[in-house]
Amino acid sequence: MSINVRFFASLRERVGSATLLVEAEGIRTVRDVWAAVSDQPVDEDVLVAINKDYAALDRPVADGDEVAFFPPVTGG
């Protein structure tokens, strides 16, 4: 049982990998996924997608889900 986790742009550099496989046991929300891969708190402005649909940090995740983290988008 696992969750496929993807990181983009600066988050990929921060975590040190573009993809990771996280054991699903004990993981309930997106926030839990982040805690499993980083010892730093998640930035509340990070964009998240579960199975290619945008989601909130407190949204539940399930075995087999793909969770993607994107840095906040800025522009001007």
Q: What is the 3-state secondary structure (H, E, C) of 20-76?
A: EEEECCCCCEHHHHHHHHCCCCCCCCCEEEECCEEECCCCECCCCCEEEEECCCCCC
Mean pLDDT of 34-40: 93
In a domain, 48, yes or no: yes
In a domain, 63, yes or no: yes
In a domain, 32, yes or no: yes
Q: Alpha-carbon distance 76 to 64, whole Å?
A: 37
What range defines the domain where residue 43 resides? 2-70
pTM value > 0.85: yes
Residue pLDDT, tens place only, 3-33: 999 999 999 998 899 999 999 999 999 999 9
Q: Alpha-carbon distance 39 to 6, whole Å?
A: 17
Structure tokens that stand for 61 in this block: 């995740």
pLDDT at 75: 62
In a domain, 76, yes or no: no
Residue pLDDT, tens place only, 42-68: 999 999 999 999 999 999 999 999 999
pLDDT at 2: 96
